[in-house]
Amino acid sequence: MKLTENQIDELYKFTREHYVYHYDVQSELVDHLANDIESIWIDKPKLSFEDARNFSFKKFGIFGFMDVIEAKQKQMNKRYWKIILRFAKEWFTVPKIVITFSIFLLFFSVLQIQFLEYIFLATILVLISLEMIIVYKVRKHHKEKEKKEDKIFLLEAMIGTTKNSFTGFTLVNLFNIVNATRFDFSALHIYWVLLISIILTLLCILFYVSNYVIPQKAEELLQETYPEYKLVKNL
Q: Convert the pLDDT of each residue in 150-204 to its tens digit.
A: 688 888 888 866 554 555 556 666 656 555 555 555 666 778 778 878 887 887 7
Chain segment 33-58, per-residue pLDDT in tens: 999 999 999 888 888 999 999 999 99
Chain segment 99-130, per-residue pLDDT in tens: 888 888 888 887 777 666 666 667 667 766 76
- In three-state form (DSSP H/G/I as H, E/B as E, the rest C), the secondary structure along the chain is CCCCHHHHHHHHHHHHHCCCCEHHHHHHHHHHHHHHHHHHHHHCCCCCHHHHHHHHHHCCCCCCCHHHHHHHHHHHHHHHHHHHHHHHHHHHCCCHHHHHHHHHHHHHHHCCCCCHHHHHHHHHHHHHHHHHHHHHHHHHHHHHHHHCCCCECHHHHHHHHHHHHHHHHHHHHHHHHHHHHCCCHHHCCHHHHHHHHHHHHHHHHHHHHHHHHHHHCHHHHHHHHCCCHHHHHCC
